[in-house]
A and B are shown apart, each in its own frame.
Chain A
Amino acid sequence: MMNTTQTATIALAKTVSSKQVIEVNNLRKGFGNQEVLKDISLQLFDGENLVVLGKSGSGKSVLIKCIVRLLNIDAGTINVLGEDVSKLNTDGLGELRKKIGFLFQSGALYDSMTVKQNLEFPLRRIKKSLSHKEIDEKVKDVLENVGLFDALDKMPSQLSGGMRKRISLARTIIVDPMIMLYDEPTTGLDPATSDEISLLINDIQKRYKTSSIIITHDIECARTTANRIIILNEGVVYQEGNLEMFEKSTDTLIKSFFI
């Protein structure tokens, strides 16, 4: 069980392979006359945490929504685990999405269900062969991992912001995804809780061997979680590199993030 009061840093997983799990090529996406993503190309390697930084409105959330095809792209290709996402039929897309966990900015817990029901919901649909007992055990196990075992019978409205984010995280990892997509995981949280969430992201990377894209404008979260960082600006990839490189950079835009 992870002790969320620990002050020791949970180190990032250092082992990152060269195998690509996500490849985005020349992605373009706009809404009406506004072009949000103009020409995005990036790769996510197996086992790594890739942090995508950018100003508000730079298209970070649009990028990861295109990856899971919550939004249809205008041009370019997105390959996830070797499959072209835009060419998949409904069944194929459903199968691919079972391997991807998506943490929404607001948490997106189902209001009419308890925490237990929220966690069981994706599990019953994705892992249909599990028995009731196995489902119960998995729910308890994942709640212990996020340090919220006592919240089992609570409704989402009874939880604090940080608790809701952790339960959402639990709901995402309960199906053992290969890829995690985090949309602003620390937004709206106090610094201490943000730190807990960042450490949890690292713990998930190690425990579940996930490859992750983390969308954020929280530099502390980026510092804690990133194996590699990409900065988006005006719809294109502005710069790509590791934390050390960015912190030493003299570029004005990069410096504005890493003050």
Chain B
Amino acid sequence: MMKKFTLVPKLTPKLQAAKIQTIKLSEKTFVKIEKANNFFTDVANAFLFISRTIKETFSRDFEFRELLRQSYQIGYKSLALISVTGFIMGLVLTIQSRPSLITFGALSKLPGMVAISLIREIGPVITALICAGKIGSGMGAELGSMKVSEQIDAMEVSSTNPIKFLIVTRVLAATLMIPLLILYADALGILGSWAGANIKGDITFVLFYSQAFSHFTFIDFLPAVVKSFFFGSVIGFVGCYKGYSAGRGTESVGIAANSAVVLSSLLVIIVDLIAVQITDML
């Protein structure tokens, strides 16, 4: 019977070291590929989540009562925080802008400048960022803890569509309530600005108001309102997605809340950038 010989090359120390180095590089590459794969999987899952939410929004048996409850939680329960931040926004902007406008001899333009800045940009963005922190993290944490404690599974088994009950209502409530909160913040910002103008000046509210809106046009107002709906949707979708896709441990609840805030804040800025570009073209 023929003997079979297999040639096994003897590895010199140099070759051995090169082999180990190649294996290490391969492992690092593998880890990077896996991370990239996880990222793209996450993005795909997010798009599936969004499409499923939109589909359930228009299906039968809409959860109106839960929508009202969520609107109350998001809208009414945020009023105190938004009141304080809106007022301070206007106050600080006025105090900071006043010296520069005096330098240019344009103090009379202060009310108009503050109003346009607040309503077009600062009011929507800062209010949305605050809502991302309060509402986004709240949604992420609440849904994450529901996931961990099997409440979402319990809902599914009791013939309730959890996407319809939990997600659609929250996303819609955020989309509808956050623009209202932004308008409210803008109004209080104008009030704060008037208060700021009266720290070193003396101007009645009626005069301040008429000066603020004398050059205000529809094109200043409409893009801000439209982008505020997108801010609300982004905050709702991100908060819900992060909570709904949380892992099965308590650590994952914290991660869900944290990542909901970070991602929704980032997306608010990106949406604002896109909105500004579009507005500039109009």
Residues of A whose CB lies within 8 Å of any CB of B are 65, 68, 70, 94-95, 97-98, 100, 102, 104-106, 108-112, 121-122, 125-126, 175
Contacts and interface: CB of A to CB of B under 8 A. Distances in A.
B159 A125 contact: yes
Contacts, number: 47
Q: How large is the interface on B (under 10, 10 to 19, 20 to 34, 35 or more residues)?
A: 10 to 19
Interface stretch (B85-93, B144-152, B176-184, B205-213): B144-152
Contacts of B145: 111
Contacts of A94: 159
Contact of B153 (A70, A111, A175): A70
Contacts of A175: 158
Contacts of A112: 142
A104 B154 CA distance: 7
A28 B104 CA distance: 78
A100 to B, nearest CB: 7
A108 to B, nearest CB: 4
A111 to B, nearest CB: 7
B156 interface: yes
Interface of B: 142, 145-146, 149-151, 153-160
Contacts of B146: 110-111
A109 B150 CA distance: 9
A97 B149 CA distance: 20
A100 B146 CA distance: 21
B41 to A, nearest CB: 13
Contacts of A65: 153
A102 B157 contact: yes
B156 to A, nearest CB: 7
A122 B159 contact: yes
A125 B160 contact: yes
Contact of A122 (B142, B153, B158): B158
Contacts of B157: 68, 70, 97, 100, 102
A215 to B, nearest CB: 14
B159 A111 contact: no
Nearest to B152: A108
Contacts of B153: 65, 70, 104, 108
A220 to B, nearest CB: 24
